[in-house]
Amino acid sequence: QVQLVESGGGLVQAGGSLRLSCAASGSTFSISAMGWYRQAPGKQREWVAAIASGGNTNYADSMKGRFTISRDNIKNTMYLQMNSLTPEDTAVYYCNALTIATKLRAPEHYWGQGTQVTVSS
């Protein structure tokens, strides 16, 4: 079992910055990759960024150059640094973890409860 808890959301003015955190607990050694998703009201959940245990990162096109994903394996915490925020970034941001596939188990996704990010104009 893996538990994920997001924090760091809040209200920020356009052009400002926020740093989100995702603390993982439980069977953290089984995590192969982590990522961030977001969901705005009335819209589908959207992939934001991902990071593998070795440190390789990927970003959605609209987030490149503004968002930075990182991971502290000692603290079992993932971060999303968000800069140059716009009202279009307003959404609930969710942490996701993918577990390692084994002969006994297929990889599994775990989700946090989400943290609200609101960007005012």
Q: Which of 57, 76, 77, 75 is nearest to 67 (CA)?
A: 57
Predicted pLDDT at 93: 98
> Token pair of 86, please?
């716009």
Query: Tens digits of per-residue pLDDT, 83-107?
Result: 999 999 999 999 999 998 888 888 8
* Cα(17)–Cα(105) distance, integer angstroms: 39
**Residues found in the chain:** 121
Q: What is the pLDDT of residues 62-87, one digit of tens each?
A: 898 999 999 998 899 999 999 999 99
Tell me what the pLDDT averaged over the chain comes to: 95
